[in-house]
Amino acid sequence: MTVRIGDRDKKILGLHRIDEAKLNALKAEPFLHVRKALPIAYAQMLSMGHVMGLEKMAQQRGQMQEKIPDIQAPFGDDDMISFG
């Protein structure tokens, strides 16, 4: 899965997705083998609707971090406060 953060795409590793079309196309026998996992499969499919919200929050966080001033700047390299 790839999400957009700022001006770049970031690949998210370790997430697995249920292919709803393939799940719905299962014949009776294979379906019986996976039916105990159906609550997990449906929960995963429902949770995918939140990915866009998480992506938006990540973009907003990145924008906020860009606006945070450098509070170390007045100290310079020698840890002395400089007002002028």
Residue 84's pLDDT band (boundaries 50, 70, 90)? low
Position 52 scores a pLDDT of: 77
Position 13 scores a pLDDT of: 83
Position 12 scores a pLDDT of: 79
Q: Which pLDDT tens digit goes with each residue over 22-80?
A: 988 999 999 998 888 899 888 988 888 887 788 788 778 777 777 777 676 666 666 66
Position 53 scores a pLDDT of: 83
DSSP character string of 15-67? -----HHHHHH--HHHHHHHGGGHHHHHHHHHHGGGHHHHHHHHHHHHHHHHH
- Could you give the CA distance from residue 77 to residue 53 in angstroms, rounded to a whole number? 40
Largest alpha-carbon pair distance within the chain?
A: 78
